[in-house]
Every structure is written in C-alpha cells, then in structure tokens.
Amino acid sequence: MSVEVKHDYHMVDPSPWPALGALGGFTAAFGLVLFMHPEMLGGIGEIFGIATIFPGILLIAATMVFWWRDVIREATFQGHHTPVVQLGLRYGMFLFIASEVMFFAAFFWAFFDSSLFPRVDPAVWPPEGVETFNPWGLPLINTVILVTSSFTVTLSHRALERGDQKWNVNWLIVTVILGVLFTGLQAFEYYHAPFNFADGIYPSTFFMATGFHGFHVIVGTIFLTVCLFRAIKGHFKPAHHFGFEAAAWYWHFVDVVWIFLFSCVYIWGG
C-alpha cells in the first residue's frame, strides 16, 4: 500500500491534550467555586478550593506547553500546515475571537443594565459611597501602553512580511514588555482600589469586566512570548507564519476591548 499523501489536508493524530485541558479547566473552576463559597463542605470550602485551583492551573499550563509543542512541530518541521490547512486555522481563530466578543458582551450588558437601571436606593450610578477611579490617571497610562503595543506588534508583523527577522524580533520584544507593564500597572491599580469585589454591584461588574480583560492580556502576552522565541529561532517565514498572525489578531482584540472598557467603565461609568 502506498503511504503517499494525496491531499492537502492534515489528518491530526489522536491527542490527549484536549481531554487534559478540559480536566484542568474543570478542576480550576471547581476550586474557584469552593474558594468563593468557604461555607461549603462543612466550612472547609476555602482550604479545599485553594488545594484544587493550583492542580487545575498546572494541568492547563501543561496542556498549553505540550499542545503548542505538537502544533509547532506540525507547522514548522513536518510541513502539515498547507495553504488549505492555514485557511481552516484562520477560520477557527476568527470564530474563537467572535466567541470572545460575545463573552465580553455579557459583562458589558451586566454593567450597562446595572448603571442605566440601578436597583439601589437612591437610584444613582455609581452607587452612593463608591469612590471610582480617576480615568485620567493610571487608566489613561494603561490605555496609551496597550494602544502603543498594538502598533509595535503591527510593526513586527510588517517586518516579518519583509523578511526582516531582526526588527521582527525587536518590535516583538517591545510588545511583550508593554504587555507585562500593562499587567503590572493593572495589579497596582487593583491593590490600591478603594473598594472590594463584594462591596456591591459596581465593584462586582468593574472587577469582572476589567479582571477578565487582564486575564486575556496575560494569555496574549504568553502567546506573544512563545512567538518571540519562535521568531528568534527562525520558525517564521514571510509567507508562512500563521502562529504569529493569530497572536497579533488576539492582541488587537484585547486592545479594542480595553478601549471600550476605558470609555464605558472608567469614563462614562464613573
């Protein structure tokens, strides 16, 4: 029998990583539920939750490392990512970002529903006693940082398309540094927040929307860091670099979401 491949599609080998990732996600989510409800399990929910969260996070991290390793091998060394396969990957990334848009739409819906139709007495927004952030301080600085990072990742992409590996790497380093800086300033802002998550509807919607965005920034920074190491090793070619392209799409999405958060939550909502 001939083993010659007579089509442009990639028949993926059986992989344990989807199941392992699902198990890690379930374990981490279960631990978070217990942590946020310490009265469960006879009052030891918080302790058991902490003990459950970290194994879940480790499973998720292991899935990311080994699954990305396999995909990099398929794309760079085994030649499985033909133009047809890359087109399918582009559709998949587009649908993933579309699902993320709907994810954040739920948080914006909750924020606008609470602010336009307050259920508190008196019916004002922000609720009485809530001291909001000054949007023209640290939030504005973070906005400048994230918008700048969108420009730098675009410059890195353009350098890659020209075959200029040096500036592809240099601009990517700048983008990763800006992503880390944004996360550090966001953590500083949270540490000095004048309210806590459980202090009412405004803190809850604020931390849910901005916190999940911060999580996406961390994921995007990891994504770009992986691309940085791949760029240094010369994995990307001007006509074959979907891994980097997907990371850039994701980063632009994170940037656009932040602009809406800054405009609606920090400026208008405050």
Residues 69-101 as b/e (b if ≥16 CB within 10 A, e otherwise) read: eebbebbbeeebbeeebbeebeeebeeeeeebe
Task: Tell me which of 3.30.2310.20, 1.20.120.80, 2.40.10.340, 3.40.605.10 is the CATH number of domain 82-268.
Answer: 1.20.120.80
First vs last Cα of the chain: how many Å apart? 70
Burial (CB < 10 A; 0-12, 13-18, 19+), residue 123, is exposed
pLDDT on residue 4? 62
Would you state the pLDDT for residue 1? Answer: 43
Task: Dihedral sign for Cα 158, 177, 29, 37, please.
Answer: negative
Question: Tell me, what's the pLDDT at 158?
Answer: 95
**Domain regions of the chain by residue span:** 14-80, 82-268
- Per-residue confidence of the chain (270 residues) as pLDDT tens digits? 445 667 777 778 888 999 999 999 999 998 888 888 877 777 676 787 888 899 999 999 999 899 889 988 888 888 888 888 888 889 999 999 999 999 999 999 999 998 888 777 777 888 887 888 889 999 999 999 999 999 999 999 999 999 999 999 999 999 999 999 999 999 999 998 888 877 788 888 899 999 999 999 999 999 999 999 999 998 999 888 888 999 999 999 999 999 999 999 999 887
Q: How many CB atoms lie within 10 A of CB 235?
A: 17
Contact 63, 25 (CB under 8 A): no
- Give, in degrees to the nearest 5, the angle at Cα 54 between 184 and 178: 20
What is the value of pTM for the model shown? 0.86
User: Can you say whether the dihedral through the CA atoms of 124, 128, 132, 136 is positive or negative?
Assistant: positive
Class of the CATH domain delimited by 14-80:
mainly alpha
pLDDT digits (tens, 9 = 90+) for 41-99: 776 767 878 888 999 999 999 998 998 899 888 888 888 888 888 888 899 999 999 99
